[in-house]
Amino acid sequence: MKRRILLLSALAMLGMATMPTYAQSKIVVKIAGMKPDGEPETVGMKLFAKYVMEATKGKYDVQVFPNSQLGKEDAYIAQTRKGIIQMCATGTQTGSIFPAMAMLEAPMLYDNLEHAHRAMNGETFKLINQGFSEKSGLTTLNAFPLGFRHFYTKKPIKNVSDLKGLRMRVPNIPLYIEFAKNLGQSGQPMPFAEVPSALDQGTIDGGDSPFSDIVALKMYEIAPNITLSGHLLVIHSLYINNDFYNKLPPEDKKIFEDAAKRSAEDVWKMAADAEKKAIEEIKKGGGTIAEPSAEMKAALVKAGQDTWQLFYKTVPNAKEILESVKQYK
């Protein structure tokens, strides 16, 4: 009996030894993000994961954690910097580490998506990132749009005077708060998830968001007046921990870089179509879409340029960055 047990044990161990070990040799790469499925950030992360795994034939197991599954932005950025996770997607939150990063979303900086796309593929992106890697412990792999921010309000905005004194929800980011102030609005910092109840209770009169967010929470059902202000383009990026990135074999490093560029280009291509579809959905849902008047556009430009003063105080090469954008018009 003992001999039989020993024989079976030996055969089992032999079988385990001869099993392929490729599954065990996969290198896990975790990417954290804040947006839910279907939104540009999550689409970009999943495409990046797909391209890396295809190009390396499964050497890397790239796992995507959207919708703040690994914590809020500040938490997962800190985890990426420490190397607890390898990558993350975020926007101007990195401006708290390195002020120039906030300039990715400088208000009234880009004329349209094409203008921004050229700037992010050119000198502007390089100038913004100059010194960021050394300061943060992170490398910025790409830049892709979540969309231009537009106003949504309970009452229609017909002229500049209608903007004055509005209690508008803003993210708790100095750049956004300052822009609202320069426009004569009362910026009310609060998490985006609290906006529907704040509108219902009359705590705020409206806010501003990319179409993807407006549609995701059906904001047009509570604040049906959408003004195409396009005053700020939300740009997010994929970031990778420097220690992990620098230890990649050269051929794998190139694959990561190419996948990041390719996935970003995919999102840029989708952005224009996404805006058109969102406008259609808002109209079908009972919302109205209004173009700002020439007077309002001028007021938005002035408020945006006044907000740029924040950068002159904190970013040594701010003027060079702002000047660089002009060549991509």
Handedness of CA 206, 212, 215, 218 (dihedral sign): negative
Q: For the chain, give the percent of residues with pLDDT over 90.
A: 85
Mean pLDDT of 72-78: 95
Residues 6+ apart with CB under 8 A from 171: 189, 192
79: left (phi over 0), alpha (psi -120 to 50) or beta: alpha
Per-chain mean pLDDT for the chain: 92
Check residue 166 and give its pLDDT.
96
Mean pLDDT of 114-125: 98
Domains belonging to the chain, first-starting first, are 23-326 (3.40.190.170)
pLDDT, tens digit, for every residue of 167-189? 999 988 889 999 999 999 999 99
The band of 227, judged by pLDDT with boundaries at 50, 70 and 90, is very high
Q: For the chain, give the percent of residues with pLDDT over 70.
A: 93
Check residue 173 and give its pLDDT.
86
pLDDT, tens digit, for every residue of 260-297? 999 999 999 999 888 899 999 999 999 999 999 999 99
pLDDT, tens digit, for every residue of 23-61? 458 999 999 999 999 899 999 999 999 999 999 999 999
Q: How many CA atoms lie less than 13 Å away from 193 in the CB half-sphere? A: 6
Mean pLDDT of 92-118: 96
Nearest residue to 29 (alpha-carbon basis) of 94, 84, 103: 84
Q: Name which residue leads in pLDDT, 193 or 98.
A: 98
Nearest residue to 315 (alpha-carbon basis) of 110, 172, 156, 175: 175
37: left (phi over 0), alpha (psi -120 to 50) or beta: beta
Nearest residue to 241 (alpha-carbon basis) of 92, 86, 134, 108: 86
Check residue 130 and give its pLDDT.
98
